Amino acid sequence: MATYTSLFRAIIFFFSRILHEHFKTPRYLHRKVINALNPTQLKLQKYPSFIGSYELFSSEDDDDKTLIFNVEDTLLKSSSLFPYFMLVAFEGGSILRALLLLILYPLICLFNKEMGLKIMVMVSFFGIKKDGFIVGRAVLPKFFLEDVGLEGFEVVRKCKRKMGVSELPHVMVESFVREYLEVDFVVGKELKVFNGYFIGLMEDNNNKIGNDLNKHMLGEGDKLGCNNIFGISGTKASLSHPFFSFCKEIYLTNEEMKSKWKSLQSENYPKPLIFHDGRLALRPTPTSTLTLFLWLPFGIFLAIFRGVIALSLPKNIANPILTFTGLRLLTCASHPNPTSPNPKSSSEPTGSGQGHDQGHASHPNPTSPNAKSSSEPTGLGSGPGQLYVCNHKTLLDPLYLSYALNKPLTAVTYSLSRVSEILAPIKTVRLTRDRDQDGIMMEKLLNQGDLVVCPEGTTCREPFLLRFSSLFAEMNDQITPVAMDCHVSMFYGTTASGLKCLDPIFFLMNPRPSYTVRLLGAVSGLSTCQDRSQSGFDVANHVQREIGESLNFQCTKLTRKDKYMILAGNNGVV
274-316 tens-digit pLDDT: 999 999 999 999 999 999 999 999 999 999 999 999 888 888 8
pLDDT at 230: 83
Residue 532: the pLDDT is 63
Q: What is the dihedral of CA 522, 527, 528, 529, to 10 degrees?
A: 120
For the four alpha carbons of 157, 161, 167 and 170, in that order, the dihedral sign comes to: positive
Give residue 303's identity as a one-letter amino acid code: A
What is the structure's pLDDT at 249?
A: 82
Across the chain, what does the average pLDDT equal?
79
Confidence at 473, pLDDT banded by 50, 70, 90: confident
Query: What is the model's pLDDT at position 44?
Result: 35
Beta strands at 387-390 and 478-487: parallel, antiparallel or unpaired: parallel
Cross-strand pairs, 193: 198
In the predicted structure, residue 522 carries a pLDDT above the cut 90: no
| Segment 511-534 mean pLDDT | 80
pLDDT at 339 over 60: no
Q: How far apart are CA 450 and CA 222, in angstroms?
A: 74
DSSP 162: E
| Residues 50, 52: Cα–Cα separation, whole Å | 5
Least confident among 224-233, 251-260, 323-332, 466-475:
224-233
CA distance 488 to 279: 11
- The pLDDT of residue 562 is 92
Burial of residue 461 (CB within 10 Å: 0-12, 13-18, 19+) is buried
Query: CB atoms < 10 A from the CB of 478, how many?
Result: 19
Confidence of residue 431 (pLDDT cuts 50, 70, 90): confident
Give me the pLDDT at residue 30, please: 34
What distance lies between CA 527 and its chain's CA centroid?
40
Least trusted range by pLDDT, from 31-45, 49-63, 351-365, 518-532: 31-45
More confident position, 35 or 413: 413
Cite the DSSP H helix spans in 375-465: 397-405, 418-423, 435-448
